[in-house]
Amino acid sequence: MPELASVQRKIEPTTSTAPLAVSVRGLWREFGEVPALRDVALTLHGGETLSVLGPNGAGKTTLLRVLASLLRPTAGEVSVLGCPLPRESWRARGRIGYLGHEPLLYRDLSGAENLRFAAQLHGLQGDATGRIAELLDLVRMSRRADELVRNLSAGMVQRLAVCRALLHQPELLLLDEPRSHLDPEAAALVEPLIGPSPERARVLVTHEIDAGLADADRVLALRAGGAVAYEGLASGLSAGDARAIYGGAP
């Protein structure tokens, strides 16, 4: 098993001059007496992508939910788009796009109705029609947009969830295994929409080590139990070391 001493808890500076999109220091999140995240620290600037790697039980989804202000930290400091969480979460939420394991769509509404409702929540009523039509066309869901979500396949629902997350053109995109349920053709449609962009920062949770490293400017690698194995530039973590973290290297 590769030696990880050289990368453990390593934090490398970025060369970006863009404002900080995410700053986390000393983050703990516990469920009862069980810690899901242990003393996590990370930074991410506008226009950058952070890939979050680690085995099941490493706290990856928990971290994303904290950044989305859906979970409160047990301890530590979290700032998203200049807004301390949870104190100013109301200022950040409308600037975040969140694509989690659940699509956050109402099953008894159509896809188009779901997107119109999301537009109302983001205050986009006047400009929403064109934006919704554009997104539905890009993911090839225009013809199925008036069908109830409960009658659609998992892949179609995922494409609608991508539209929902991008509808308000967020400054920070939080992606939890965004290719779930997508066949190669659908994934190719979605990738340009959720991929890297100078207009937004991204936090990408993925089990795809090679793709996660290739897409990233920075990497956060978590061990089972939520402890940090590595946080720094993507170039500082090899695929072999990342796989060793998945394998439970101490």
Per-residue pLDDT, 16: 67
**What domains can be seen in the chain, in order of their start residue?**
20-246 (3.40.50.300)
Average pLDDT of span 107-131: 91
Query: If DSSP codes are grouped into helix, strand and coil, which group holds residue 151?
Result: helix
Per-residue pLDDT, 173: 98
* Long-range CB contacts (within 8 A, 24+) of 180-185: 180/101, 181/153, 181/154, 181/155, 181/157, 182/155, 182/158, 183/155
In the numeric block, the tokens 């779930």 are attached to: 180
Rounded Cα–Cα distance for residues 246 and 54 (Å): 6
pLDDT of residue 8 exceeding 50, the answer is no
Per-residue pLDDT, 15: 60
Residues 142-170: tens digit of each pLDDT: 999 999 999 999 999 999 999 999 999 99
Rounded Cα–Cα distance for residues 204 and 202 (Å): 6
User: What contacts 210, CB < 8 A, 6 or more positions away?
Assistant: 239
Percentage of the residues of the chain whose pLDDT score is greater than 90: 84
Q: How far apart are the first and last CA of the chain?
A: 10
**Local confidence band at 248 (pLDDT 50, 70, 90 cut-offs):** low
Average pLDDT of span 213-220: 95
Average pLDDT of span 122-133: 86
Average pLDDT of span 53-70: 96
Per-residue pLDDT, 111: 97
Per-residue pLDDT, 18: 78
Count of alpha carbons within 13 Å of 82, Cβ hemisphere only?
6
H-run or E-run covering 173: strand 172-176
Per-residue pLDDT, 21: 97
Per-residue pLDDT, 1: 24
Per-residue pLDDT, 247: 76
**Local confidence band at 75 (pLDDT 50, 70, 90 cut-offs):** very high
Percentage of the residues of the chain whose pLDDT score is greater than 70: 92
Average pLDDT of span 180-201: 95
Classify residue 150 by its DSSP letter.
G
Per-residue pLDDT, 3: 35
Nearest partner of 215 among 89, 63, 48, 59, judged by Cα:
48
User: Three-state SS across 20-63?
Assistant: EEEEEEEEEEEECCEEEEEEEEEEEECCCEEEEECCCCCCHHHH
